[in-house]
Structure 1
Amino acid sequence: MTFPRIARPAAAASGSSADGGGQTRTGLAMVVLMSGVLMTAVDTTIVVLALPEIQRSLNVALTNVVWVIISFLLVITLLATQVGRLGDMFGRVRMYEAGFAVFVVGSLLCALAWNEVSIIAFRIVQGVGGALIMANSGAVIADLYPREQRGRAYGFTSLGWTIGAVLGVVLGGLIVTYVSWRWIFWINVPTGVLAIAVALRVLRDKGERTRQRLDPLGMITLGLGLFGVLWAITKLANGPFDAATAAFLIGGLALIVLFVFIESRVPAPMLPLRIFKVPTMAASLCASLFQGLASFAVLFLLLMYLQGPRGLSPIHASLLLLPGYLISAGLSIWAGRLADKYGPVLPATAGLALQVVSLLLYAQLTNSTPLWWIVIVGTINAIGACLFFPANSSAIMKAAPPDMFGIASGMMRTFANVGMVFSFSVAILVASRSISRQLAFAIFVGTTSLHGQVADAFTTGLHAAFYASVIFMVIAAVLSALRAGGIRRPGRSGSSLQPAVPDAVGRFAGRGERAT
């Protein structure tokens, strides 16, 4: 496996040793970037399999245990653009390294948690570190690699995410079954410290520092709005629609509307709406949102199915998901090369189409479906995901003005994470319509299993959730395909994908220059 190398000027070609040293440093830099994405991915999936043990060990209320996951994702969602902006101001590498440090501290605290409040609070600390890592990793890559090599570079980060998801699923099953749930956090400490040490040696800030303003009012408004809606959806999944639930839902939606109004008025918004003037940017970001809304639920729905109606243990359920992740990991770099060669629209849209097919197949599951069929469908879904992610990331970063890489990278994570957070909640809400809410919730967190007619009813509920995901994924595919007219395909010389950027974008960049 070879990492993409930074193109060197001809004058530097004669200094082979220096060039070799630069290439080695670039390869090590990519390893560090991959490790950061990997660690965040591990903690996105590994906790799922540990939820039952965390719930029992810390006496967490059944209705609150899902916030161990939601709190982590919600913090990343809210902070992504803000910490990306900090990267533009103080150095993307510096903020990336700070993210590692915060993530390690958060992991240490999570391993030492003693009750419900402490585990959720420490997951929030972890989320702060994850936001710093994920929001700035894309911008660091944009600084390191020229346009024509970014698709392949993002393929490596996609590989890091896939490997992390694999490790999260497998290690989660092993650790929960044979050791202790606390070790899902302890393992981050030594690996994180090692990654920080390597990062300090090989990563260097290359991007130009720019003055930025933060948007605390927008961040607080969006945070409270999303929290209100998520709280209402979570309560609906295990209780009746009462006045309190209605108040949270209406209040949350009102705050999200207020957030949009604030963003159109403040001088430095959390989500700068003007960036949507960049050709293809709106479609790329919204495709990321709907893809997350459709796909993040799949892991949870499958675990509900395998540990509920099929009665599998966490380790056996995780092993069935492993082949798809492994095949996806092997194809990630090839998928990034496709984006460089043919442009991002074709591989991204093809990947979303494959995921639509896989979701339709998942919606046909019964309580007697052969387990090997789940492996095949999971592989189709994983291949689709590995085609989409590097291509879409490349499209967003190629369209972004150079001095706004941090904000664009942060917005990419924000839109994806908004989809992921709501995917989690909507899936359990839809699936719980066919069975007692409390029982469905217990199955979801792995505290009970199902048999007989109740299992059949629950599987029918899963079908509804999968069909809902199909609708979201089709929307993502349509948005991806709509970008075809806004991105120029590379010529035979393999030149970079140059979006046709109007003068308005130059003004957006804050310098009156054309974005390149």
Structure 2
Amino acid sequence: MAQKWWTLTAVVTGVFMLVLDITIVNVALPYIGLDFHAPLSDLQWVIDAYALALAAGLLTGGSLGDLWGRRRLYAVGTAIFTVGSLLCGLATGPLVLSIARAGQGIGGAVVWATSLALLGDAFRGRDRGTAFGIYGGILGIAAAVGPLLGGVLTSGLSWRWIFWVNVPVGIVVIIVTLTKLRESSNPAASRPDWPGFLTFGGALGLLVYGLIGSADGWAEPEVYGSLIAAGALLVLFLLLEFKQKRPMLDMRLFRKPTFTGGLIAAFGLNASVYALFPYLVLYLQQQLGQSAAQAGVRFLALTAAMFVASTIAGRLTSTVPVRLMIGGGFVLIGAGILLMYGLTPSSGWTDLLPGMIISGAGAGMVTVPLASTAVGVVDVSQAGMASGINATARQVGIATGIAALGAIFTSQLRETAADHLRDTPLAAQAQHLADGMGASTGPGDASLAGLPATAAELVDQAARTGFVDGLNLILVIGAAVAFVSALFSLVLIRHRDFVPPPAAPAPAAAASAAEAHGS
């Protein structure tokens, strides 16, 4: 097999694992919570640690690949991701699991950042379009089958296998990378922007920590202290980027409203529909009593609609204005999320079905033109940076979205459960149930075993009512994020901001279109 096809094989296999690990974990969260007796805040970190590491490392990973060699860095990143996957499966508690997930994210950031450059170096002419088309299709499949595969592995074996399955695949990718791929680098590459990396990563970590902790109240010192420190680091990051000769974030890009609109859309996409995934999974499993495999099958309604819509969107991008596709897609996302609103303790999963299909279709309609917007408003020389910034905004959206929605969800659950039991001798049980959210709040809660049957039934009903009230509230918020994103997209994204394409497709621009099917 020709060397370029070995490159494609290694790249799509490695990045397939990364995208899979964004969605595959969701259906395993209740099982992880039960094994570790973990509250919801710990489960949020299982997802957010991965997303934060990806967000913080994407731009720096690309710089390191240009400087030290992309093949070498791709192998190193895959090795870090593989070791992280092994440690995730061996985790003895939620803290160890979250740290290992952050390790996965660091390796994943390097893999993702160097993968497009490897393809761009290996392919020329017509083959390049074919390679990027395969790349995008494989990533679309990964996003679609993640919940299903996670459900099958979790129900059939153990939640630990959703991580261990990466280990043999990662080893094969490393071997192929080191023996079959050609090394490439950028002789003119500059050193990574380490001050920018540290201040940006620190700001994100403190922001998410503060948002997750806000479920216990905004007046807690660790909450407002974290948020203030996050704001200070973010300001420092922006000041540093203004002064850097070669910054990781070129502030001049924001002079074009379309670039800003694209970032808002990238953030809004993941902060709305994607950030709701974990809570919908908890509803299916903890409230409706479904297994991980059953929940994964039901999630196909959303992910399959997303995949089909993104395929259609790819064909419409040449005829329909980008801002209408992105704005219209967000309207569908918001409408679909609102269709899921109104759940009661007696609702079934089919009450979610229409909304899952419509919001999934909306997400697919946004994803493809969003990628072209990320790179279409900059010169070819800045396409890699622009694509990386857009991908970073998406990861920031899912990390902060999950954190903020989780805090609101937990607060509402506690308030509703307390109100439900206020005039009974069981008022204290409401707080216990809320604190155990994510570990033991479904039907048959083990914490109710010592209570009389009537009391246990009353507390269980309070938990169910609190859960659906909390879920309904964050569904409204998710829909609001989508509608606001639609408004900004329609106002800021303008056709005149787009740069005419070069005679031959640039690697970063073509790759970014393929990347549209990613997370």
**The TM-score by the shorter chain falls in which range?**
0.7 to 0.9
Q: Could you tell me which residue of structure 2 aligns to residue 447 of structure 1?
A: 440
Say whether the 8 Å CA contact 2:210–2:226 is kept in structure 1. Answer: yes
Aligned residue pairs total 473
1:20-79 C-alpha deviation (Å, 9 max, x unpaired)? x88xx7666555443333211221222233334434545667643432222111111111
**Residue correspondence of structure 1 range 69-468 to structure 2 within 5 A:** 69-92=47-70, 94-140=72-118, 157-199=135-177, 209-238=187-216, 241-277=219-255, 280-340=258-318, 342=320, 344-436=322-414, 439-440=433-434, 442-443=436-437, 445-449=438-442, 451-468=460-477
Counterpart Cα distance in 1 of 2:498 and 2:218: 51
How many Å apart are 1:298 and its aligned residue?
1.9
Relative to structure 1, is the Cα distance of residues 275 and 98 closer, same or farther in structure 2, using a 3 angstrom cutoff?
A: farther
Query: C-alpha deviations, 1:230-268, integer Å up to 9, x for none?
Result: 222212224673223222222222222222222222333
Rounded Cα–Cα distance in structure 2 between residues aligned with 1:419 and 1:172:
23
1:485 is matched with 495
Structure 2, gaps ≥5 residues long: 415-430, 444-459, 507-519
Decide whether the 8 Å contact of 2:81 with 2:103 is kept in 1: yes
Task: Note the C-alpha offset of 1:187.
Answer: 0.4
Q: How far apart in 2 are the matches of 1:87 and 1:279? A: 30
Q: Which runs of 5+ in 1 are unaligned?
A: 1-20, 499-516
Q: Quick one: distance in 1 between partners of 2:371 and 2:117?
A: 11
Pairwise CA RMSD: 3.5
Which letter does structure 2 place at the counterpart of 1:72? Y
Quote the Cα distance in structure 2 between the aligned partners of 1:497 and 1:284: 21
Residue 342 of structure 1 and its aligned partner are, at CA, apart by 4.6
Q: CA deviation at 1:165?
A: 3.2
Cα gap change, 1:362/1:44 in structure 2, threshold over 3 Å: closer, same or farther?
A: same
* Code of the aligned partner of 1:483: I
Secondary structure at 2:42 match in 1: coil
Give the structure 1 partner of residue 482 of structure 2.
Answer: 473
Distance 2:58 2:354 in 1: 34
Please state how far the C-alpha of 1:219 moved relative to its aligned partner: 2.0
CA distance in 2: counterparts of 1:428 and 1:169, whole angstroms: 20
Q: 1:256-294, CA deviations, whole angstroms, 9 ceiling, x for partnerless residues?
A: 222222222233333221232356322212211122211
CA pair 62-383 structure 1, distance change in 2 beyond 3 A: closer
Partner of 1:41: 19
Match of 2:426 in 1: none
The answer to whether the Cα contact below 8 Å between 1:144 and 1:206 also exists between their aligned partners in 2 is no
Deviations 1:140-186 (A, max 9, x none): 56667899999997765554344223433123222222312221111
The alpha carbon displacement at 1:380 in A equals: 1.8
Give, in whole Å, the separation in 2 of the partners of 1:281 and 1:150. Answer: 26
SS in 2 for 1:66: helix
Amino acid of the structure 2 residue aligned with 1:275? L
**1:480-500: CA deviation from partner (whole Å, max 9, x where unpaired):** 333233356999xx98999xx
Query: Is the 8 Å Cα contact of residues 302 and 356 (structure 2) preserved in structure 1?
Result: yes
% identity of equivalent residues:
29
User: Do the aligned partners of 2:40 and 2:439 also contact (CA within 8 Å) in 1?
Assistant: no
**Partner amino acid for 2:484?**
I
| Cα 1:62–1:419 shift into 2, 3 Å | closer
C-alpha separation in 2, matches of 1:296 and 1:327: 14
Q: Distance in 1 between matches of 2:484 and 2:41?
A: 31
- Cα 1:33–1:330 shift into 2, 3 Å: farther
Residues 28 and 328 (structure 1), Cα distance of their counterparts in 2 relative to 1, 3 Å cut? farther
Paired with 1:299 and 1:86, the residues of 2 have a C-alpha distance of 33
Deviations 1:108-137 (A, max 9, x none): 232233444432332222111111122334
Q: Which segment is superposed worse, 309-318 or 73-82?
A: 309-318
Amino acid aligned to 1:447: S
Equivalent pair of 1:152/1:340 in contact (CA under 8 Å): no
Whether the aligned pair in 1 keeps the contact of 2:203 and 2:230 (CA below 8 Å) is: yes
SS in 2 for 1:486: helix
Change over 3 Å in CA distance of 1:484–1:272 after alignment to 2: closer
TM-score (norm 1): 0.80
Superposition TM-score, scaled by structure 2 size: 0.79
